[in-house]
Amino acid sequence: MLFWRTHHLPQTLLSSTSKFSQTAHRNMTTITSSTTIPDDFTTHLRSSTRILALLGAGLSASSGLPTFRGAGGLWRSNDATSLATPEAFHANPSLVWQFYSYRRHQALKAQPNAAHYALAELARRRPEFLTISQNVDGLSQRAGHVRGRGGLELLHGSLFEVRCTGFECDFVNEEDFRDPIAEALRLEDDGRDISSADVPLREVGIEELPHCPKCGENLLRPG
């Protein structure tokens, strides 16, 4: 089994086919690697029957996507990890949705890079190829990397998965890339950064938050 932990994808794979290489290079950022890639990497890759790639934040950084955490792991004056919990949503769904809308907006401004496209192409060509991603930014999916079925597995979920909060409603959308997801959550690229506690945060009422399109009664929540 070939185990491959990557922050950047080797150039040997990116240039493996001319048609794909043209697509990848149109979406390419500068690709470098801190790991020495053997000259026979492509040969070894092609001869492997089971391949596992583990993706981390460095892959997204190559698309220019910053971390959502501010200084000290804070978003405004809140612990960022605490906001990403069911308890926080129950206590203040408006604040949590503004937090997630900010992160969604930042992720959607970034574009998949050549490594995302290469991994998606490899998954299409090699059904036994498994990718496990720690990233929640949706860049792999936007590059055409299909979730599940032994393809792309997301350890921490996705910013773009939403679910109905209703107990009896089973609505789930794994790829809701709307921005904004509700008009009241629209963010303007006017230089103001609402992740800073110094920037006023507007009050958003419950009725203005995203609601389930299936039952029409309950709030949607981040997945």
Confidence (pTM): 0.80
Average pLDDT, the chain: 83
Which residue is catalytic, options 25, 44, 90, 156? 156
pLDDT of amino acid 204: 96
Residue with more model confidence, 81 or 9: 81
47-93 pLDDT per residue, tens: 888 889 999 988 999 899 876 555 556 788 888 889 999 999 999 99
Give dist(CA 182, CA 204) in Å, integer. 10
Q: Say if CB 70 and CB 196 are below 8 A apart.
A: yes
Q: Please, which pLDDT band fits residue 206 given cuts at 50, 70 and 90?
A: very high
User: Vertex 138, ends 179 and 41: CA angle to 5°?
Assistant: 155
Question: Cα-flanking dihedrals φ and ψ of residue 53, to 5°?
Answer: -115, 130
Q: For the purposes of burial, counting CB atoms within 10 Å of the CB of 22, is it exposed (0-12), middle (13-18) or buried (19 or more)?
A: exposed
Residue with more model confidence, 130 or 149: 130
Counting every residue written for the chain, the total comes to 223
156 is catalytic: yes
Identify the weakest region by mean pLDDT among 46-50, 124-128, 202-206, 218-222: 46-50
Does 176 have pLDDT greater than 70?
yes
pLDDT of amino acid 181: 97
Question: Cα-flanking dihedrals φ and ψ of residue 65, to 5°?
Answer: -90, 120
Kind and range of the H or E run holding 99: helix 93-109
Print burial letters for 176-193: b (CB count within 10 Å at least 16), e (below 16).
beeeebeebbebeeeeee
pLDDT of amino acid 42: 77
